[in-house]
Amino acid sequence: MTVLSVNVNAVAMLRNRRNLPWPDLAHIGRLALQSGAGGLTVHPRPDQRHVRFSDLPTLRELIDTDFPSAEFNIEGYPSDDFLRLCEDARADQVTLVPDDPSQATSDHGWDFEASRDTLRPVIERLRGRGTRVSLFSNPSPQGLEAAAELGAERIELYTGPYGATHADADAAMREIDRLRETAERAFALGMDVNAGHDLTVGNLPALKRAIPRLAEVSIGHALTADALEYGMPETVRRFLAALSA
């Protein structure tokens, strides 16, 4: 079964437009988890323009107290400050992304070979604390041997190019083929596979059919957009149904 992890960054960004406590991130997270999501994802950026550092202990407490089987996934660039946040929040999974702090959103995966010296001590540090490590990966098998050798337990497929094909069915199938090839290589190397970026109710079924062993999808933008129309509980149920289609 593929776990749905709800990324609450877009909810936090809406809250941050005013100096007010709503929408309440913990309440929205609770609605998502009550409705069947298997975890929550955050991407705390240095400028705190989305989730704030102070949100992390609140969300950790929510999971520990009321949803102990759920996971807390924290993603970001592996600076010392970021790693301390992950350690303090006792992240169940840390997804390392090669973002520049000024980027609006993640838009590419690691060059695993070129990033060996950056990633090796970080992966050792996190795994030494019992934290699962996932590395953000382009939809290409190139360099996955290095990711496995570094000790990553999972990769997260960057599905942005697939999401961008929403109006072109032929292009979508080409992207699906690239994602399938990458996943199969990761499996052969002993890693599990997550996916995230621009995934929707409409494009999830084809992805899941192509990669039946998909461990987790982390979804924020489209899920939050749908929640404006359907509400968070019904939206989570719709995404779970899409993963089972």
Tell me the pairing of strands 39-42 and 154-158: unpaired
CA distance 218 to 199: 8
CA distance 6 to 38: 8
The residue whose two tokens read 């695993």 is 112
Give the Å distances, CA to CA, from 135 to 98, 115, 169, 187: 9, 11, 28, 14
Provide the domain limits for residue 125: 3-244
Note the pTM of the prediction, 2 decimals.
0.96
CA distance 33 to 92: 16
Tens-place pLDDT, residues 117-166 = 999 999 999 999 999 999 999 999 999 999 999 999 999 999 999 999 99
DSSP type of residue 150? T
Q: How many C-beta atoms surround the C-beta of residue 107 within 10 A?
A: 14
Tens-place pLDDT, residues 184-230 = 999 999 999 999 999 999 999 999 999 999 999 999 999 999 999 99
What's the CATH number where 24 sits?
Answer: 3.20.20.70
The number of distinct structural domains making up the chain is 1
pLDDT at 105: 67
Which residues does residue 87 pair with via DSSP β-bridges, in sequence order?
Answer: none
Active site residues: 43, 75, 197
